[in-house]
Amino acid sequence: MAIGRISGSVLKSNLTRNGTDLAFETNLLYLDVTNSRIGIGTSEPSTTLHVNGNTTLTGDLSLSGSLSLSGNLSPGQLSFTGNSITTSQSNADLELSAAGTGTVVVNGLSFPTADGTSGQVLQTNGSGTLSFTTISTNSVSQGDSNVTVADSGTGAITITADGNVELVINDTNATFSGPVVIKSRNAITLNDTDNSNYIALRAPATVTSNTTHTLPDGYGTSGQVLSTDGAGILSWADGGGGGGGGSSYPNSTIQTAPGSSGNYDLAEGPAQDGDETPFEAGGTDPFGVNLGTVFDAMDPIGTTTTLDYGDGEAYVGA
């Protein structure tokens, strides 16, 4: 039976029905006149328009409020005038999933279509495409681009090997806990204030054996030089003023000229008539140099004393 259009007071009277809701085919269309709600597929609409089942919209959908879905939303194009997408389910993930080989694109970034494996991270190819990649336990690499490791605030970057903290870098210094090895004669450079020039230290071209130099404590005094004990220990020593290279030899032996008869020889007794020498010709000083030539071979400290024993003396002390 055909039903004509209902309008005016007749429509109002039918909808009101003395406060009784109007149902078509139980819940095919349900008018909740008490709460001013319409239900499609439900006789208990919870909102102004409550659709229980799949809904197809071939035109545009304009929302000024919130959109709440308990199922799937499959639009051809979805746009929002607001600036946030949220979920009301407590502790639930918000997922954006693309079907098939499609990708999720957010502000020019294309996300991978499948989950990565445990421990993988998102990596960009520099053109907006993100992919999951694995950071190896023994290397970090990124092709021809820079790899940056950064902390924020007052934090520090710590490098640990075999449970030992080997390097700590903060905003003021880098602290090494173990030896620092510079290979292939590469230099340690010390830049000036504006980094325009530097002073560099490096190893000699050939090192015959492993050598460790231990520096002395303190500044030393003016004019002192670094002296070695031949075993790697450096110390401050007074600079020499002799005819040699200017070095001082604290262990050199210095003898004085004889002063009277009975003390005319430094190595032989008064009754000895052999050739006389002011030194012990067969001995060596702490440097291993023969005492008879110590003044020719080294630069001893001290002064030289000159005495006039008179003319015609056959020997010193006569």
Q: For residue 34, what pLDDT band results from cuts at 50, 70 and 90?
A: confident
Q: Are 230 and 243 in contact (CB under 8 A)?
A: no
Q: Averaged over 58-69, what is the pLDDT? A: 72
In sequence order, which residues have a C-beta less than 8 Å from that of residue 267 and are 6 or more positions away? 276, 277, 278, 279, 280, 281
What are the tokens at 270?
Answer: 């008064």
What is the structure's pLDDT at 12?
Answer: 54
Q: What is the pTM of this model?
A: 0.36
272 vs 22 pLDDT, higher one = 22
pLDDT of residue 8: 45
- b/e map 260-296, b = 16+ CB within 10 Å: eeeebbebeeeeeeeeeebbbeeeebeeebebbebbe
Whether the predicted pLDDT of 11 surpasses 90: no
Share of the chain above pLDDT 90, in %: 14
Using pLDDT thresholds of 50, 70 and 90, give the confidence band for residue 97.
confident
Q: Which residue has the tokens 């970034």?
A: 109
Over residues 263-274, the mean pLDDT reads 51
First-to-last C-alpha distance (Å) of the chain: 165
- The model's confidence at residue 314, banded by pLDDT at 50, 70 and 90, is low
pLDDT band of 117, cuts 50, 70, 90: confident
Q: How far apart are CA 11 and CA 27, in angstroms?
A: 20
Q: In the predicted model, is pLDDT for residue 231 greater than 80?
A: yes
The confidence score (pLDDT) of residue 216 equals 93
| Predicted pLDDT of residue 266 | 47
